[in-house]
């Protein structure tokens, strides 16, 4: 059953569980019994881990304004590096 948030004017927000589609627009406050109204909030956004939020933000920025490489990453020292020393022994084209 999903959780629905309600706000009491005196005690603040509390949550109740109802079957889907059966949440009442107003309930009695669980603390004081006053009329509490249903509040709508984006679900679970605060529960996302910070690294995931950072990764999602980076992905969004990359889609809108990707970083452009304007120089050779090794500083342009000219020597091309291969990841494996065996590559140097491979046959070269004539």
Cβ-based nearer residue to Zn ion, 16 or 29: 29
Q: Which of 3, 13, 15, 31 binds Zn ion (CB under 5 A)?
A: 31
14: Cβ–Cβ under 8 A, 6 or more apart, which residues? 5, 6, 7, 8, 29, 30, 31, 36
Is 8 a binding residue for Zn ion by CB under 5 A? The answer is yes
Which residue, 10 or 58, is less far from Zn ion as judged by CB? Answer: 10
The rounded Cα 9 to chain-centroid distance in angstroms is: 31
Q: Which of 1, 24, 32, 41 binds Zn ion (CB under 5 A)?
A: 32
């Amino acid at each position: 059953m999903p959780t629905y948030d309600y706000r009491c004017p005196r005690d603040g927000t509390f949550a109740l569980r109802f079957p889907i589609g059966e949440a009442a627009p107003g309930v009695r406050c669980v603390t004081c019994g006053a009329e509490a109204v249903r509040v709508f909030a984006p679900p679970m956004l605060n529960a996302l881990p910070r690294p995931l939020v950072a990764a999602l933000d980076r992905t969004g920025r990359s889609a809108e304004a990707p970083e452009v490489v304007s120089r050779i990453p090794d500083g342009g020292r000219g020597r091309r590096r291969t990841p494996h020393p065996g590559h140097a022994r491979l046959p070269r084209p004539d």
